[in-house]
Each structure stands twice: as structure tokens, then as C-alpha cells.
Amino acid sequence: MRYDEIKGFLHGGDYNAEQWLDRPEILAEDIRLMKEAGVNAVTLGVFSWAMYEPRENEFHFEWLDNLMDSLWENGIHVILATPSGGKPPWLIKKYPHIMRTDQNRIRHLYGERENHCNSNSIYREKVLQIDRLLAERYAHHPALILWHISNEMYGTCHCEDCQQNFRKWLKNKYTTIDKLNQEYWSVFWSHRYDDFDEIESPAPHGETAVHGLALDYQRFYSDLSIDFLKQEIAAVKEYNPQIPVTTNLFHFNCGIDITKLCRILDIVSWDSYPKWHCGTDLQTEWESAVEASFGFDFCRSQKNAPFLLMESTPSNTNNAPVCKLKRPGMHMLSAMQAIASGSDSVQYFQWRKSRGAYEKFHGAVISHNGSAETRVFKDVCAVGRQLQELCDVRGAVTRSRAALIYDWNTMRALEEQKSLRRNQRGLEEIIREHYKALLKNYISIDIIDQTSDFMKYNFIAAPMLYLFLPGTADKIRQFVEKGGTFVLTFYSGLVNENDLAYECMPPYSLNDVLGLSVEETDALTDGEYNTLLYQDKRYKVSHYCDLIHDSSAEMLSAYEKDFYAGMPAVTRNHFGKGAAYYIACRPEEDFLYHFYRDILRSIGIPAIIDSAYVEDVMVKERVQGDTRYQFLMNFAAVPRIIHGIELAGYETKIIKGIMAVRSYNDFHGRVLARLPDVSI
Ligand code: GLA
Ligand code: ZN
């Protein structure tokens, strides 16, 4: 069956059936319980290589034939993985160079998973062989709806093959060694290269000082990983191009530029494991909810389309600092949060707990006791029923007029750079603060990078956009000129794409757009604050303060302390048909909330729901044709009231409304009719 012909959401998860092949009664019971739980899609084969090919070139697929057939006969779809995430021991015994060499130049022994070298030609050959055999056999199987390529790819390798490939990649990028020397500023400490062959990837006991090199190595390895996936995708598509492909992403900082990676996928998918109930205030789960929401919004924004929640735990994980159980109500709430944010699935890791090894106590739908009379199983059944009721929401989209830039190149460059605060620039937390402030304003937010199309938004915020790729400054200029509202903050536009400082006062090439130039940036010690006044309220400012040299922009707020008291801390500049704001420092979150509220109101981006932020309540929206679904979610264990609607602890209410105008451009039109609330 085709993926897009399926009615309603996917519900299911990783089914490691290969662990139970000698227990036919368990496999039969699994299908019975899946049907009881409303499971309609399972992921097979993520770690099945050793069962497919127990010895080199000896293949056994009969067990998968039977499994796929029996799932299909029972109405359960299959997401079939390629097994490259985990490999059998015989492979490494014979070809030890497949194992990754770490940055200390130590080649790893057989063990663990997802630790192969992406340059290794034998590994590629072996993976492609098994991928082709799987595709040849199953690409037209009626149960197959999606390929799950590899598993949570991450990390880098530093072996000799990778060094050679890196040098090729560099030659291709710079053409001449002189150009590379210039961009790396390698005369510094006499690190000037005379030949590409002298270049080695960074190492703790080797090169750490050339930032352009470190950044390029990350980019090279990201490209190599993407190339590896591309080959796998091509192998399975050879047999049936109609079956879409995904790979399960799990972290923005996984060593791959995942925005770039998403371009080669048909569907984006995400593994989400927020640390529910681990905070200091056990009454509220707001911070974990924000973390999960950020991942979801990121995934949805990549293709402006629904994504899949590929893994989540129905109870606890086994790898958190404290492996808390999900409190009653949290499983439903976290599932609804994924749906509210644009997921077309709720999938779990894992269906059945393994009896041994690393994950034997990781949460699962079915525990070692095999019982359906458990709290977790009942919770999963309740989600299954709920997803069926909501089936019309499948495929609904979210149209955001606002976006936040979280940029991989900037993140990688800031990790290397030495300044501000040792070992910790705080980009991730800074981005999170701005995200939270926007989220609390109850608007839909896309999370994009500097390569994205800016023109489809009315409002873009770019906190700490340290590195500008070629063309970024022009894109910002045009965006503002044509009527957009852009917010830039401290420490933006300092270096070019190779981490080479611009010869100007930042932000590079935007001084006229912002109406200012930055002369210096002060770093504050822990616990040290400056303050600013905004709308008669005083707010704390921490960590970083830009000192503005020259400003023709309107000063919205000034620093109150230190030798730069009176200098601009927040400004606005009208440019072309739009406006460019500058936040020169890191103000507390409450400031950002109010500041963004004022901007969003002034440019007419209405909230999904007309309410000031109600503590712990998150609001999301999906739109299907002319029907809008507003999800009101309470992440507190106690009741909250928003817009006159009461939400019990951990409750989600879904308001279904008809939009005034069918056109997406106008989707923020007045709600004409309110249907009765659906309460969960
Ligand atoms: C990841 C992996 C899974 C499993 C889970 C456990 O998401 O993809 O195989 O190990 O973590 O949380
Ligand atoms: Zn390698």
C-alpha cells in the first residue's frame, strides 16, 4: 500500500522480532496485542543484519517473508529498515578497517553500533548488497510503506581513507593550496600548508588551532555521511521508486548538517526522548515540553510538511540520568504534543522489551511479563483509540509566518571559537530562550537555517548568527527591504563561511539595514548582570553585551550600568518597507516574551489563540483544507485556564474550527464557527 493512501495516523514502533524467532507463540501474541493497541505500523529490521546474513554471503530472509506476510494479513503496515546501523561480528573480524577511527587515531574494536567508517568501500559494498537484496524481495510487498535508512547516524571517523577523502573534498572546494591558506589564515603559528597532502583532520593531540579546518572537517564528514545515505537510498529505490525514504534523526548536533540531509529524504522523521518529570519542580513539565516542541517544529519546517515521530518511549528510557516513569496522563499528552506539532505518527521504541543486553530495561509497550493488563499497555491503547478519532487531522499542515534561525554552520563555528566564555558560548540555550518567548506568544514558529527561503515569512529572528554564509547578508537586506521584520542579536555577522573575520564592524554588510555598527562585545561573569528598561519595566541582562559604536537606529532601550550605561541595548531601524531590530545583549526571557509580543502585534501576526501566556500551557495549530485544529496542552499536573477554557492537569483540548477563508495566505482569518471541544 502507498504511504499516502493510508487513512489516519501511524501508530506502532520498532519491532525487534528477530530476537524472538525461536518463539512463534510470542510472535503470534505480538500481532494479537498490536491489534488490541490500535497499532497499524511497525519498523522491522533496524538491527537484523546478523539474522539476514549469519555468515558472509549466506542469506536468510524466510523469517522476514513470514513476518511481513502475517503483519499484512492483520492490517499492519511495515516500515523496513536497512540494517547499516548495526553489523555482525564476522564482518569486522574479516574487515577490521570498517570500524571507525576516533579523533585520537584509535581504531575501534567490534562492538556497539553506528560506528562504521563512512569512507570504507567494503562496508559500502556490503551494505548496498544487503539493501538490494531486501529491496528486490520486499519493494513491492503490500505491507511495505516506507524505507527507514540506517539508524540515527552520527559522529565522524579519522582513518586514513577519511583523510584522503577529506583532502579531495578540500581540493574540490579551494582548488589551490594558496586559497586554502588564505581562508584558514594559516600563517598564524606558522601553520602554512604547502600541499594538500600535509593536511590532517583535527585531533586533540594534533591540530586544534585552525578553526577553518575544524569547520571544514565537520562539513566534509557531514557530506560523506549524506553521500552514504544517498547510496543506500538509490539502492532501495532501484526496485521501486514509489516507496518513500526516511532516516530517523535525533539531534541537531549529531555531526551531520541535518537541514542538508533532509533534502535527500522524502519524509523527515525524529526520535524524541524528553526527560519528563526530571526537573526540580515536579508540578510542571514546561522545559521538557519546550525541548520536545523545538525538535518537532524543526522537523516540520524542513519540508513544510508533516513529519513522523519515529521513536518515543511509552514509559521510561534506560539512559536518562534518572529513568522516571511517565506519570499518569503524560503518555497521552506527549503523544498529542507530537500530533499538535505536525507529526503524522506516534511510534515507539520499542514494541517488546528484550530479555538481555543493553536495552533490556528500556521502556516498551510489552514488558517482560507479556501482560496486556499493565498501565503502559493501557496507556498505549488509549493513544491508539485517540489517534483513530483524530484521523482527519493526518496530513494537516502548519503555516507559520514567523521563523527562528538555528544554523548548523554557526553552531559548529561557535563550538570552535575562542572568546566570550571559555568552552561555552551557550548558543543552544540562547536559541531556546528566543524560541520559548515566541512559543509563549502562541504563534506557529518554523525553525530554519540561513540557507532557507526567507521570503515566505513576515518575521524572522536570528539570535547570535555569528557566521554568515555567502549571500546571507543580502538575503536579510532584501527581506527587510521588501517589508519583513528581522531581529538580529549580539555577536552576529562576525565571520565568513570559513570562520575568517570580516574586516568591518559587524554585522557584516548590514550596518545600514540595522542602522548601527558594533565595536566590541563584553562578556559577563556568572551571576553578573547589567539591566535595561523596557516599557517601564527593568530586566536583567547577562553573559554578553555588544557595545554599539555608531547608531542611527531608534534606541528602544539602553544599558543602565557599567562604563557603557546609556549606550543602546535594543534598537529598531526602518529600512525599505520593513524593520530591523537589534538586541545587543542576552536579556532575561521575560523581556523577550514582551518584546516579541509587541513586535508581532505591530506587524499583525495574530496568535493562534487570543491569550497572554498561561503558565505551562502550550498551543499549536494544524490546518486541513479550511478546517483548523487548535491544540491546547497543559504541561502542569494541576488545572489551568486559558481563554476561558479549563484544562485539567496534563490535559489536551482540541478546538476544531472553520477558517474564514480557504486560501492558506489568509489562514489567520476569523474563526467562523466553533464546534464542541474535543477533550482528551
Ligand atoms: C535510539 C535508537 C534506538 C534505541 C533508543 C533507546 O533512539 O535508535 O535503537 O536505542 O535510542 O532510547
Ligand atoms: Zn574512516
Q: Is a pLDDT exceeding 90 seen at residue 470?
A: yes
Measured N-to-C along each axis, helices 211-237 and 408-416 cross at an angle, to the nearest 10 degrees, of 140
Question: Which residues is 76 bridged to in the sheet?
Answer: none
- Is the Cβ–Cβ distance between 32 and 23 less than 8 Å? no
User: What's CA 105's distance to the chain center, in Å?
Assistant: 30
pLDDT of 570 > 70? The answer is yes
Give the C-alpha distances (Å, rounded to integers) separating 442 from 78, 186, 282, 304, 445. 36, 48, 24, 19, 9
* Distance between CA atoms of residues 308 and 145, nearest Å: 13
State CA 347 to chain mean position distance. 17
Q: Which of 615, 679, 616, 673 minimizes the C-alpha distance to 645? A: 679
In this prediction, residue 680 has a pLDDT band, given cuts at 50, 70 and 90, of very low
pLDDT for residue 670 is more than 70:
no
pLDDT > 90: percent of the chain = 92
Q: Which atom of ligand 1 is nearest to the CA of 313?
A: 12
DSSP one-letter code for 259: H
Would you say 583 and 596 are in contact if contact means Cβ atoms under 8 Å apart?
no
Average pLDDT over residues 323-338: 97
| Ligand 1 atom closest to 46 (CA) | 9
Q: Which residues line ligand 1 (CB under 6 A)?
A: 151-152, 250, 271, 273, 311, 317, 319, 349, 359, 362
Q: Indicate whether 659 pLDDT > 80.
A: no
Return the pLDDT at 588: 97
Read off the C-alpha cell for 599.
Answer: 513586535
Contacts of 352 (CB under 8 A, 6+ apart): 15, 16, 19, 20, 26, 30, 364, 365, 366
Please determine, for residue 138, whether its predicted confidence score (pLDDT) is greater than 80.
yes
Give tens-digit pLDDT for 354-406. Answer: 999 999 999 999 999 999 999 999 999 999 999 999 999 999 999 999 999 99
Whole-angstrom distance, CA of residue 231 vs CA of residue 257: 17
Query: Residues 410-469: pLDDT tens digits?
Result: 999 999 888 888 777 899 999 999 999 999 999 999 999 999 999 999 999 999 999 999
Closest CA to 633 of 330, 421, 213: 330
Instruction: State the amino acid at position 206 in one-letter form.
Output: G
Q: Please list, residue by residue across 95-132, b when 16 or more beta carbons sit within 10 angstroms of its beta carbon and e when fewer do.
A: bebbbbbbbebebbeeeeeebbbbbbeebbebbbebbb
Instruction: Give all strands of the β-sheet with 568-575 in edge-to-edge order.
Output: 445-448, 402-405, 459-462, 485-489, 578-583, 568-575, 554-558
Q: What is the pTM of this model?
A: 0.96
pLDDT at 661 exceeding the cut of 80:
no
The ligand minimizing its distance to the Cα of 318 is 1
Q: Is 476 helix (H, G, I), strand (E, B) or coil?
A: helix
Q: What is the pLDDT of residue 553?
A: 98
Atom 12 (ligand 1) nearest CA? 317
Instruction: List the beta bridge partners of residue 634.
Output: 617
Residue 669 has pLDDT above 50, yes or no: no
Instruction: Give the model's pLDDT for residue 62.
Output: 98
Round to whole Å and give the CA distance between 233 and 82: 9
Tell me, yes or no, if 311 is annotated catalytic. Answer: yes
Ligand 1 centroid to residue 482 C-alpha, Å: 45
Q: Catalytic residue at 651?
A: no
User: H or E element: which one contains 260?
Assistant: helix 258-262
Report, as an integer, the average pLDDT of 482-489.
97
What is the CA(311)–ligand 1 centre distance, in A?
7
Pocket residue to mutate for ligand 1, from 271, 350, 358, most atoms within 8 A of Cβ: 271
| Catalytic option among 114, 136, 152, 287 | 152
Q: Is the peptide bond before 83 cis (omega within 30 degrees of 0)?
A: no
Closest ligand relative to 13 C-alpha:
1
Which cell goes with 328?
499518569
Q: What is the pLDDT of residue 663?
A: 33
Mean pLDDT of 644-656: 95
Q: Check: CB of residue 30 under 8 Å from CB of residue 366.
A: yes
* C-alpha separations of 375 from 329, 348, 349, 350, 360 in Å: 11, 16, 17, 16, 19
Mind listing the pLDDT tens digit for each residue in 219-271?
999 999 999 999 999 999 999 999 999 999 999 999 999 999 999 999 999 99
Q: How far is residue 273's CA from residue 286's CA, in Å, rounded to a whole number?
A: 14
Residue type for 636, please?
A
Strands 640-642 and 617-624: unpaired
* Distance in angstroms between the alpha carbons of the first and the last residue of the chain: 31
The identity of residue 172, as a single letter, is N
Q: Which ligand is nearest to the CA of 98?
A: 2
Ligand 1 atom closest to the CA of 250, numbered from 1 = 7
- Per the CB < 8 A criterion, the answer to whether 181 and 198 are in contact is no
Among 349, 352, 354, residue to substitute to test ligand 1 (most atoms within 8 Å of Cβ): 349
User: What per-residue confidence (pLDDT) applies to 228?
Assistant: 98
Cell of residue 20, nine digits:
524472538
**Residue of 44, 358, 359, 361 to test ligand 1 pocket, by largest number of atoms within 8 Å of CB:** 359
Beta bridge partners of 79: 43, 146
- Predicted pLDDT at 675: 42
